[in-house]
Structure 1
């Protein structure tokens, strides 16, 4: 008499394996040991197990494509992060779709909502709209689409996050400026409410407090994504407040600060020292060479993709993930040279 069919849980129990391992064997995944696969298929035949491949495909709706949603691509950090992501996706024989929000919360919402129709298997996002009601992120979770944040994150969600030691890097860079003779340090940021802006501001403030330097809110300046607007904001800051050092929370503000100084014949580092969070590959070729807080952008991209594929290869989504924090490297060049 023929054995009745069994389900995947019963087969997994008989082999002392997880259901995800059983599923990978029948999906012909490359990440399963050939001997294990052969053992599974033999046992399935013995026990009369037949996987419901149609139901599996409906459940998974796989496209072998992931989406990368970024505030911008002009920033060298993001272009390097994308390279890291794509190295991992290629290894898994997946494709990537890159979307740029131009730092617009509304555009991020629109992009994500358009992706919820099953066009991608997962998403990697560097966030734009912190502090808002992020219904689009909640919808991703409801649809059980794997999601990983990197760099700029929504703290309120217990999702995988790849971040930098932003606070410590900013604290150390500010401390270095003080030890190089700076007493009036300006902090430039695009949005101090963002996770990265907030943490970098906290590091700056705590370093000033440690050295008993009074905090002047006029030296904490929010700039704009538009370079021309930022030019005039920074120019007014330098003319009015005359800082002897500038710490920029993002790369573009360091570049604009250079342009302001060159346009106004302000000598770097003699009159003002400059250091910024930047992955600019030609930082050492600028005149003078730019001191940077360099994030491991490529590695962050790799880690984000690895986290995503870890979820994609699993049969369930975990509810809690501890953030993975990577360390930036502070590289002092001519722009912070001690006079």
Structure 2
């Protein structure tokens, strides 16, 4: 009686994982040509035969993708979702949206539940408290994942982001050109490469223009809104900066409130610029200068690359874009 040769048999003989054998048999772009050849040669030698029913079951698509985001109130994510849905709709896919509320444990629970086969792939903008790199290293091995906007540095996955370093550098130079000599920074997303690139742009711009920098001019974002307000107020009273860069829009409005409480004039006493996609930014008094990210385009590109992975289409790293933000100069930073 002939021994039944399975994928497990091939994996054991070659001392590789069952997943690798399966991907090689399905001609996945993730597997090297050398490994594919070894698998196919052994399969032929041992007279391996596919199980059509099992193969069909494994290849069945849910026609659904998941989008995991930290919040919905932020206008950036609303625009990004619109971009994602435009691409998904053209492909006949449904989009499931999951909100983590900036909680890394909720984020982990969502991703674990999605591994059950509920979706074909995941688009994720990680929460600001995310530090569990090992979880994401394992996740990208199990299901197609594309990160957008907020990403983690040491993860082997596609990341669709904007020019965080360059745009913060340019915003700092804009304040300098408008007369600022002492520029403070409101630091958020400090666990993520996104936040690290932004503050690096700020620091390098100050260094290149021989201006003061230091931890005394940096306020770290806190989940407690009242504490953010107090910390910003103390910064302005004690350090007396003449310019402020906010790395997220949630920290920009407290600057307005603090200035109102202290009787400071924006932009004469303090100039303010913030990363923001707020549609109301032009309506603030004074109107808020912003670093506005191409949120819709980021969503479209992220979805497009996820579908390339699902379609097993090869692509080069050079094809992955870094999209350009727009520095919109308004009244909060003074004369244009």
Quickly name the TM-score band, shorter chain normalised: 0.7 to 0.9
Query: What are the residue-to-residue correspondences of 1:193-272 with 2, within 5 Å?
Result: 193-272=191-270
Give the whole-Å Cα distance in 2 for the aligned partners of 1:321 and 1:330. 25
| Match of residue 304 from structure 2 | 306
Give the whole-Å Cα distance in 2 for the aligned partners of 1:140 and 1:54. 27
Distance 1:233 1:221, change over 3 A: same
Query: What are the residue-to-residue correspondences of 1:60-71 with 2, within 5 Å?
Result: 60-71=59-70
**How much does 1:130 deviate?**
7.4
| Match of residue 274 from structure 1 | 272
Give the whole-Å Cα distance in 2 for the aligned partners of 1:338 and 1:216. 27
- SS of 2:117's partner is coil
| Match of residue 296 from structure 1 | 294
TM-score, scaled to structure 2:
0.80
Instruction: Name the stretch that deviates more: 262-271 or 125-134.
Output: 125-134
Are 2:329 and 1:324 equivalent residues in the alignment? no
Deviation string for 1:145-184 (max 9, x for gaps)? 1110011111212211101110000001001101100011
**How much does 1:238 deviate?**
1.0
- SS of 2:260's partner is helix
Deviation string for 1:176-228 (max 9, x for gaps)? 10110001100002232321111011000111111111212110110223332
- SS of 2:269's partner is coil
| Match of residue 153 from structure 1 | 151
- SS of 1:215's partner is coil
| Match of residue 89 from structure 1 | 88
| Match of residue 140 from structure 1 | 139
- Equivalent residues, number: 289
| Match of residue 119 from structure 1 | 118
- SS of 1:157's partner is coil
Give the whole-Å Cα distance in 2 for the aligned partners of 1:293 and 1:244. 19
- SS of 1:270's partner is coil
Partner of residue 178 from structure 1, selected from 176, 179, 183: 176
Distance 1:226 1:81, change over 3 A: farther
Preserved CA contact (<8 Å) 1:125 1:150: yes
Distance 1:198 1:65, change over 3 A: same
| Match of residue 190 from structure 1 | 188
- Output the aligned Cα RMSD: 2.3
Give the whole-Å Cα distance in 2 for the aligned partners of 1:155 and 1:130. 14
Give the whole-Å Cα distance in 2 for the aligned partners of 1:104 and 1:154. 15
Are 2:163 and 1:165 equivalent residues in the alignment? yes
Distance 1:176 1:196, change over 3 A: same
Give 5+ residue unaligned stretches, structure 1. Answer: 1-18, 21-50
Preserved CA contact (<8 Å) 1:88 1:305: yes
Give 5+ residue unaligned stretches, structure 2. Answer: 1-25, 28-49
**How much does 1:62 deviate?**
1.3
Distance 1:239 1:115, change over 3 A: same
Preserved CA contact (<8 Å) 1:158 1:319: no
Distance 1:63 1:187, change over 3 A: same
Structure 1 residue ranges (4+ consecutive) displaced by more than 6 angstroms after TM superposition: 317-322
**How much does 1:322 deviate?**
6.4
Preserved CA contact (<8 Å) 2:102 2:129: no
Deviation string for 1:106-140 (max 9, x for gaps)? 11111111111111100001123677343432332
- SS of 2:67's partner is strand
